[in-house]
Chain A
């Protein structure tokens, strides 16, 4: 049982590693590893070769000096001294040097027989090579030194005599070999560490990606409430996760609102349609006089109109919530727009019987705001219409604008019955009509539309007690970026707001 799990774990691990090799992090680290190792190898190789060169030329310089000295003896005709010197030096053998003077064909021969024939002037050809000691020196058979490296300077003299001076370079060679091993080792280590690093980074990334893809799978299987994990590291993965979460919030909202639209269509269009149909059906049951038909048809047109109105409002809200609105955004003077509307509603108030409706506008500033003018106008109009509809006579309604370009507020207040605090969230939902307004005309979409408009413009909407009455405030802020949708709960923080003003609530 336990071993089975172990095998399975190993398999999984292997599978994971196979995936690991495909990650971009691993691929990148592989490329970098190769690059760095090559670079390391090249650098150290250069050092190695130049050290070697340096050592050789030093040895060669010493050999040259020695050769010059012996050849000087040779050319000055001091043959006995030369032979003696060579003899002596060969015997000492302290510097790892050996000397040989021989003819071309008879190597390693003591050239005593040709000493008289030596000419005074010499033309010499010199060469420096590295050989095994056994090749150039007279060593006892099986000597351990036979394979020691030796630097040899050969000077061919004009009469076929060859002067060979050797210098053992075992120490230098050992140093160079060691350096070479170091070069190989360093390159290998660089490669190894880069690969390990790459694997490590790759595994880390895979873990983060796995978490994202796991959540995505869960979401795809239908659980839209899942969110990606955001760590406290606040790195690029967290940034992406945050953005994706915001996107998911938005999608969830949209799904919900779509569902709501479907439900609403079912509930709120079906019943008036049924009513309309029944009305027409009943009228057709019996023969009636033309006046009766006309009346019923007039009513039917009225019903159809109100259905169309509801339907249009629903569509507008759905569209606003989907954020489909682009071309119509312009810089608009909010104060001017509010003043125009105030003019219209002031006229309405004036037409009412004395004191039945008073309208007060206080446009204190004229902020410039990038928005859809028609939508803002529609929102203000909806609020004013609501205020007029729900306020008992004598009603007093006010519209005010205050603030500057950076942030401003549009407030519509009335002295009607107001909305109890616990109902304030609910009134923004579609088709919600509070108990006391059941009998007044309207489709319950006015405030939903206001909310949708506010949301589209990243405005905050708050409901307050006007003591008595209702005060609706739209808080607008100049956007830094053309970002239409922010995180969940930021734009429509209606529910959180009243708590901030306990003395008002």
Chain B
């Protein structure tokens, strides 16, 4: 059996529950050792604690005996299939967010994975930044649970019931789709949100237009919520995506 605790960072563990979207304790179940090594390295460098299991049985065992903030589980694993690991965990009442990794890129596959109890699905090969962003989005969702009907970021507020957006008390008129976009960004305040996450969650598209349609939508939104104000809220994260955050906030870009 292969069992490694790659990093035990005492300081990080201590701050686990204090930092938001920062350090997470992550279980990685992946049988490709090389890929796993790089992933562990990448996630560790982003400040997370990663524990790695290289087969389904071990993964399930570790998931049951430790509390993880989130799990990354490969779809095809030796000894026990990734989906069955997730199903078993859910059956036992373990609700930790799970990101499924798979070499099978198909909408059907995605649906099967999510049905089994996974929270998000990422196709190999993936960008590390995409994986981190999705992982954070998942953890955040799990931590905050249901949010109120009014979202706040700095002086920007979005009222889900009245369908109203204001900044510094000034009304901002948004198109329905822009409203959904802002809502999604505000629900993931301080986190990097990638273009494909936006396409999937705001437009429900599981395909990627070659044209920079998302960038254009973001720039339109930015012109509405940031243009006439001193401090910008909507930031572009190079090579990854976008982030809605109040300037001066402590969280680092990932």
A interface list, Cβ under 8 A from B: 304-305, 308, 312, 315-316, 319, 324-328, 340, 343-345, 347-348, 350-351, 372, 374-375, 377-378, 381-382, 384-385, 388-389, 442, 446
Contacts and interface: CB of A to CB of B under 8 A. Distances in A.
Given A344-B209, A381-B207, A328 B107 contact: yes
Nearest to A387: B211
6 contacts: A305-B127, A326-B108, A327-B111, A344-B209, A344-B216, A381-B209
B237 interface: no
A345 B211 CA distance: 8
B125 A308 contact: yes
Interface string B77-108: 00000000000000000000000000001111
B105 A312 contact: yes
Contacts, number: 62
Contacts of A308: 125
Contacts of B127: 305
B203 interface: yes
A377 B207 contact: yes
A377 B125 contact: no
A385 B211 contact: yes
A348 B125 CA distance: 29
Given A347-B213, A348-B216, A374 B205 contact: yes
Contacts of A319: 106
A351 B206 contact: no
A347 B216 contact: yes
Interface string B104-118: 011110010000000
A327 B108 contact: yes
Contacts of B108: 325-328
Nearest to A386: B210
Nearest to B105: A312
Contact of B213 (A345, A374, A375): A345
B149 interface: no
A389 B107 contact: no
B17 to A, nearest CB: 35
Interface residues of B, number: 22
Interface of B: 105-108, 111, 125, 127, 175, 177, 203, 205-207, 209-213, 216-217, 219-220
A307 B105 CA distance: 15
A323 B206 CA distance: 18
B33 to A, nearest CB: 20
A372 B107 contact: yes
Interface centre among A316, A347, A375, A388 (most CB of B within 10 A): A347
Interface pairs A-B: 5 shortest CB-CB = A378-B207, A385-B210, A344-B213, A381-B209, A374-B206
A327 B209 CA distance: 23
A212 B87 CA distance: 49
Given A344-B216, A347-B216, A347-B220, A374 B211 contact: no
B217 A315 contact: no
A347 B215 CA distance: 10
Nearest to B176: A343
Nearest to B210: A385
Contact of B203 (A324, A340, A345, A347): A340
Nearest to B107: A328
Contacts of B219: 351
A315 B206 contact: no
B216 A385 contact: no
Contacts of A446: 210
Contacts of A312: 105
A374 B207 CA distance: 7
A326 B109 CA distance: 11
Contacts of A382: 210
Nearest to B123: A312
B126 to A, nearest CB: 9
Given A319-B106, A328-B107, A384 B211 contact: yes
A351 B107 contact: no
Interface centre among A344, A374, A377, A385 (most CB of B within 10 A): A344
A162 B69 CA distance: 123
Interface centre among B177, B203, B209 (most CB of A within 10 A): B209
A308 B209 CA distance: 15
Given A319-B106, A327-B108, A343-B177, A389 B220 contact: no
A377 B205 CA distance: 8
Nearest to A388: B211
Contacts of A347: 213, 216-217, 220
B125 to A, nearest CB: 5
Given A328-B108, A343-B177, A348 B205 contact: no
Nearest to B124: A308
A324 B210 CA distance: 24
B111 to A, nearest CB: 6
